[in-house]
Structure formats: C-alpha cells, structure tokens
Amino acid sequence: MSDNQQFQKFTSDPAVMQMIAKAKEKNIPTVWNRYEQMLPQCGFGETGLCCRHCLQGPCRINPFEEGAKTGICGATADVMVARGLDRAIAAGTAAHSGHAKHLAHTLLKMTQGKARDYKITDPVKLKKVAARMNIAVDDRKDNEIARDVALAALADFHEKETPVMWAASVVTPGRVKVLSGLGIVPKGIDHEISEIMHRTLYGVDADPVNLLLGGLRCSVADLAGCYMGTDLADILFGTPTPQVTCANLGTLKSGSVNVALHGHNPVLSEVIVQVAEAMQDEAIQAGADGINVVGICCTGNELMERHGIPSCTHSVSQEMALLTGAIDVMIVDYQCIMPSVASVAECMGTKVITTMDICKITGATHIEVKDETAAENAKQALTHAISSFKARKNRKTDIPEIKNTVVAGFSTESIVAALSKLNDKDPLAPLVDNIKSGNIKGLCLFAGCNNVKISQDINYTTMTAKLLKENVLVVATGCGAGSLMRHDFMDPSKTEELCGKGLFTVLNAIGEANGLGGPLPPVLHLGSCVDNSRAIEIAVALANYLGVDTDKLPVVASAPEPTSEKAISIGTYAVSAGLPTHVGVMLPITGGPLVTRILTQDVKELTGGYFIVEPDPNKAADVLLQALDERRAGLGLE
C-alpha cells in the first residue's frame, strides 16, 4: 500500500497527506496516531451510558443487559444521556457566548477609551443592531450607541425581566410564539448555562423530556451568543464583503515570517494583523520577505471574511501546519486548540504563544493579550515570531505546493447587496423567485469541525458535491467552510462544473450583475462558527419575506464531521429554529432509546426541526434532499 492510500483513511486533503507522511518519517505523533492508540473507544462513553455527575459513580448502564437498568441513584439510561447532552449544549453555549462576552467587554472598554487599539469600523451595522435592540440611534454619537449596545449585550447574560434579546429579536415572530409555548425562551445566557449545570446535578432533573426541553432552551441561548458574537465583531472590525484569497498549506511562504493565528476571537487576531502590517520593515531587516499572517480554524475564517487573509488549514490538521517547519509562531486564543500543538511545535523548533488567561498550554509561551494593551502585547508576540524566523531561515521547510483559490466573505449584508444588483427595490425577490421556480431547490448550511473518526473533509465534499448537483444553495461556516475551501468548493472557476444547471444560472447571474465577470463561488463562505448566526439571519429574512416560520422553509443544516461540543449546541439550535439537522458522527445519546426517538422524531412536532444521525455521507445527502422536497411540498412548490 502506498503512503497516500494508507493516509486516505486519515484525510482527503492532499496537502495534509504530505505532512502526515512527514510526521511518520520524523516519528512525530499526530492526532491520527493518538486516535489509533485510543482504540477501541469505550462503548459506554460512545452511547452516553457512563455518568460521572456524582462521586458515587461512575455508573455505567449496559445496554445489552435485560430489564430496566439504572445508575446507582436510579437514573435511567434516558436520564443519563439527556443529562450528558444538556451539559454538552451548555458547554457549547458557554464557548460561543464567552467569545461574544469578550467582544462586548472590548466594545464597552473602547467606548470608555480604555481600549485604544479598537474602534467602530462599521457604524451602519452598529445602528442596525442598536435598532434591533430598541436602542435610540437618532442624533446620537456612535460611541454612545456602541456603549448602549455593549451594555445591552452584557445584560443579556444574566437573568432579568426581559428574555435574552439576542434570541427574541433575531427569530421570526412565529418562532417566538413556538419557543414561548414550549417555555424555552432563554432568560439570560449565563443563567441558562448555570441552570443546565443545576438541573443535571446529582438528584435534580430526572425526566428525560424535561431535561431535553432544558437543553433546547440553552441552545436558544447559544444562538443568542453566536448572533451577538457576529454582530459585535462586525461593528468593531467590519461586516464582511467578498474577498478573493486562498487557502491550504501552500499559503505559507518559506521566505517570510509566517505567523499562524489559531482559535476564534477576532479581538486578538485583528490587532495582530494591524501590528504585523506595521512591523513588516522589522521583518525585512531580519532577512524575511515580510510577515505572512495566515489563519487556522475560525480565526482563519474571521480574518478571511474581513481581510482576505489566507487560511492555512483547519481543525483536525492543525498540527500539520507546524509540520511544514515554516511557521515561526502560532498565536492562539481559545477553543479547538489541540494541546498537542505545543509538543509538535517543540519538535519543529518553533513555538506556540497562548494569549488568554483561560487558555494556557504546558510547553507554550504565554503572553497575556489584554484589551487595554492589545497592540503592545501583539508586538511582543510578533517579536518572538521574527526572532524565531531568524533561527529557522536557513532550515529546510516542507510547504506543500497546494493552494486553493477562495472567494469568501458572504455576510447577509453582502449577499443582499449583491442581490440588489438584480433588483434594488426588492433584493430578496430574485432569490425567492429562483427557489420557487426550482432553480434553487433549497438551502443547506454546512457547519462544524473535522473529526478524526472520519477521513478529513470527505463527508463535506461528498455531501456538498451531491447537493450542488441537485441545485441546493450551499453555505458554510467554521471548519466546514475550511474543508470546502480546501477542496475548491469556493473557487468561482469551479461553479459551472460543480453546480446543477439551475443553481449555476442563479450564481452566474448574481456574479455578472456584480461585475465579477463570472459566477459566485459554488459554496458561499459565511464565516466562523459564531457566524452560523448569518445562516439563521438569512433563513429568518426568507421566512419573513414569505410570511412563514423558519420550520416551513426548504432549509436544512448539516454538521457532517462534528467534534466540539459547540457543534452539538449549534445543531440543537438549528433544531430549535425548525431545521432538519444532520450529524455525521454518532452522538452520545444512542444509549437512551426515548431520547434518541425524541431528538430524531418527536421533536419535529414541537419545533419543526429534528436530528438526522447518519454517518454515511451519500445517504445523508439523500435524506437532506428528501427533507428539502418535503418542505417544498409543504409550501406548495414543485
């Protein structure tokens, strides 16, 4: 078996394959080695039937034993898996909203003059958000509005008289009714997370249905956190507009100081990008061609959608970026950073710099980046990068010559702007008309991560290829977007080849009307994982335009290679929003037959959405197509 065939079970990205071969040759352990060592994985954990919520445990329920089995406290299998799922949703919610809260604090400090390295970049978005929050905008200074927006954002975290505004004001009026009816409108984002921790404690909620409703409510709080994250980032750093750029390991430059920014929050990466620009000369003096900033994971998406900064790689292949030997420093904030990057960096003679108080890694250098001193801290980190470059500049690097063309940066605003070139009075009309005519069968959002259990990207590419041919308009976020961009799905020159006729016609018409001289890319890049809010925003706009609720739209979601608990909370809010939502990895709930049935069937009666658990990407695509047909039929469309 050739190496490449052997590595196909790890990844379908040829650049990553080259680096896996290198890791093998240099005997550097990677995520795939560790996964193989971890096999077989514990079946109790896989099915959600291991409970460690109290010190009497761990309790395991053997699904093969006869009779009703319970944990020591009496919790049934369904209670156990529902509790576990709730905690995963709470963790995902805490991460997205933690990201948003960070932005809110930065925005507030900026208005108070305490964070001088930040400014309001998009006052239009500021006013749009303020208006949605019932904050007065007329005759007020941007700074004042921004202050009120930041305070409103922070107020959404605790329990208060009003519901979470970033939830209640961003969905359709119909959805507010549905959620209220089920008692799942969140009261405060942190409150919901805390309440999940409470109700899943030893000896509290032991009704699987009630637990699941609690999980759904928390997921709506997660939507709020994501939405807020997008809003505030757009205000501070600009609302994305289409950018022509590139992706994959070939974006690294052997002669430059390569700075990889990894993690999530633009609060860090935006400042690094600014300071890097200012330090180009310093790099050149050190013998480099300049500083080459690249992104990894969602930081990559945030920088790409606003500045066209290239994305180096994503998710499960993050170690591979370091294996090129070309990265001079990897600067990280939080979320999805495998601790192993520190040891791979050490093997490759480079370093990882952690920047956030809540995310330190043994073996990494920590430089705390604070809002108040961000540029100064960034400079410190980049100085490390330059000295690191000096040390490695004569060493051989192994940068795969693989670079994919990407057009990214499709916010709701930029999509509407593009559509308005076709109909400036009624910009949504061309899109809706094409959905009605069947040129566009429907919409599918791809979100989530890569998962070591699946050959990297293969589920995304298999499903997307199938859906595009069936004229489904595909949008993508997070590492899902990362996957698709590294396989040319965001390259406009591939639109004709990849898309069905109807879809191509639409994408081409929009492209031509916007003077691109060709179509939009086959898949629209909506940004990072908090930017799943943009997909919700688009769905809500369509629903309101059609006068229906989101659970009637031909819109589906899929996380075909999920890893993080954030993917679970996102998937759950997609279900809360009424979307058929596919997951390509078994969720640790299958040990609870009732919970499994509720989430894959019965919840449809409540929110209109439901989970589809299907590991086979071909079958999954078929099921999603069926769901779209069902929705179209519901709207009376062919």
Residues that bind other proteins (CB under 8 A): 40, 42-44, 46-47, 60, 62-66, 586, 590-591, 593
525: its two tokens? 């890049």
* CA 263/CA 285 separation, integer angstroms: 29
Please identify, using beta-carbon distances, which residue of 49 and 418 lies nearer to other proteins. 49
Dihedral (CA of 359, 569, 479, 102) sign? negative
Contact between 572 and 610 (Cβ < 8 Å)? no
Min CB(341)–other proteins separation in Å: 26
Min CB(434)–other proteins separation in Å: 39
β-sheet with 351-354: strand ranges across: 365-366, 351-354, 327-332, 257-262, 291-296, 311-313, 243-247, 404-408
* CA 526/CA 242 separation, integer angstroms: 10
Please identify, using beta-carbon distances, which residue of 43 and 250 lies nearer to other proteins. 43
Please identify, using beta-carbon distances, which residue of 448 and 592 lies nearer to other proteins. 592
Min CB(483)–other proteins separation in Å: 24
Please identify, using beta-carbon distances, which residue of 45 and 518 lies nearer to other proteins. 45
Please identify, using beta-carbon distances, which residue of 35 and 545 lies nearer to other proteins. 35
Min CB(619)–other proteins separation in Å: 14
Min CB(62)–other proteins separation in Å: 6
Min CB(413)–other proteins separation in Å: 42
Please identify, using beta-carbon distances, which residue of 46 and 346 lies nearer to other proteins. 46
Please identify, using beta-carbon distances, which residue of 47 and 315 lies nearer to other proteins. 47
Please identify, using beta-carbon distances, which residue of 68 and 358 lies nearer to other proteins. 68
* CA 583/CA 560 separation, integer angstroms: 5
Min CB(47)–other proteins separation in Å: 7
Exposed/middle/buried for 197, CB within 10 Å: 0-12, 13-18, 19+? Answer: middle
- How many CA atoms, within 13 angstroms, populate the side-chain half-sphere of residue 284? 7
Min CB(586)–other proteins separation in Å: 6
* CA 223/CA 243 separation, integer angstroms: 26
Min CB(60)–other proteins separation in Å: 6
Nearest Cα to Cα of residue 325 among 348, 293, 357, 302: 348
How do 523-527 and 555-559 pair as beta strands?
Answer: unpaired
Nearest Cα to Cα of residue 101 among 55, 22, 164: 164
How do 327-332 and 257-262 pair as beta strands?
Answer: parallel
Min CB(70)–other proteins separation in Å: 16
Task: Give strand ranges (E) for 318-386.
Answer: 327-332, 351-354, 365-366
* CA 134/CA 624 separation, integer angstroms: 38
Could you give the residue ranges of the DSSP H alpha helices within 266-355? 266-278, 280-285, 297-307, 318-323, 340-347
Q: Which residues contact 157 (CB under 8 A, 6 or more apart)?
A: 97, 101, 188, 189, 190, 191
Please identify, using beta-carbon distances, which residue of 390 and 453 lies nearer to other proteins. 453
Query: What residues pair up with 329 in beta bridges, in sequence order?
Result: 259, 351
Min CB(40)–other proteins separation in Å: 5
Please identify, using beta-carbon distances, which residue of 69 and 140 lies nearer to other proteins. 69
Please identify, using beta-carbon distances, which residue of 42 and 429 lies nearer to other proteins. 42
Tell me the CA distances in angstroms from 177 to 123, 174, 559, one per residue in order: 32, 5, 27
**Residues, the chain:** 638
489 DSSP 8-state letter: T
Min CB(206)–other proteins separation in Å: 22
70 DSSP 8-state letter: B
* CA 313/CA 124 separation, integer angstroms: 32
Min CB(41)–other proteins separation in Å: 9
Min CB(406)–other proteins separation in Å: 36
Please identify, using beta-carbon distances, which residue of 39 and 358 lies nearer to other proteins. 39
Exposed/middle/buried for 557, CB within 10 Å: 0-12, 13-18, 19+? Answer: buried
Please identify, using beta-carbon distances, which residue of 40 and 517 lies nearer to other proteins. 40
AA identity, residue 552: K
AA identity, residue 468: L
Phi, psi dihedral angles at 109 (to 5 degrees): -65, -40
Task: Give strand ranges (E) for 522-617.
Answer: 523-527, 555-559, 580-583, 610-613
Please identify, using beta-carbon distances, which residue of 300 and 584 lies nearer to other proteins. 584
Please identify, using beta-carbon distances, which residue of 325 and 591 lies nearer to other proteins. 591
